[in-house]
């Protein structure tokens, strides 16, 4: 998996890394049980502080996307992905609300917005079928 970070982005590097790993899992590019690089190795490879990688991995572990073992290292959760919880639904609503509000302010129709969401969903899920 190729990791692309935008050092000029307002989005913190650890968030960008988390988002790319989650998208890699969703697209099927990263499989359950697959090894991820160690904190030190990944930090060295992409040229960021190891605490940044550690923060991303810690948050991914807390959310159930990865497991961290002392002997085995970091792996995509072999037991499956976390399910939908009320907390997750609330988090999604909180993150989507400002984007939807901006779309409305810009006179985007609900149909246009749903088309964008459907397009992104298809793009990611289509990649999964291509990797299966």
Chain-wide mean pLDDT for the chain?
A: 93
Residue identified by tokens 């999604």 is 92
Please write the tens of the pLDDT for every residue from 99-110. Answer: 999 999 999 999
How confident is the model at residue 129, as a pLDDT? 53
Please write the tens of the pLDDT for every residue from 52-94. Answer: 999 999 999 999 999 999 888 999 999 999 999 999 999 999 9
Task: Spell out the domains of the chain, with CATH numbers in brackets.
Answer: 13-76 (1.10.10.10), 86-131 (no CATH)
Integer Cα distance of 27 and 105 in angstroms: 32
């Amino acid at each position: 998996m190729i990791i692309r970070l935008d050092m000029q982005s307002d989005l913190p590097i650890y968030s960008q890394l988390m988002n790319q790993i989650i998208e890699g899992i969703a697209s099927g590019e990263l499989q359950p049980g697959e090894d991820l690089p160690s904190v030190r190795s990944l930090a060295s490879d992409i040229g960021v502080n190891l605490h940044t990688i550690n923060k991303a991995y810690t948050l991914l572990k807390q959310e159930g996307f990865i497991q961290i073992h002392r002997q085995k290292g970091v792996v995509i959760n072999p037991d499956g992905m976390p399910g939908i919880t009320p907390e997750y639904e609330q988090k999604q609503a909180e993150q989507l609300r400002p984007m939807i509000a901006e779309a409305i302010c810009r006179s985007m129709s609900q149909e246009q917005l749903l088309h964008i969401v459907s397009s992104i969903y298809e793009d990611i899920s289509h990649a999964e079928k291509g990797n299966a």
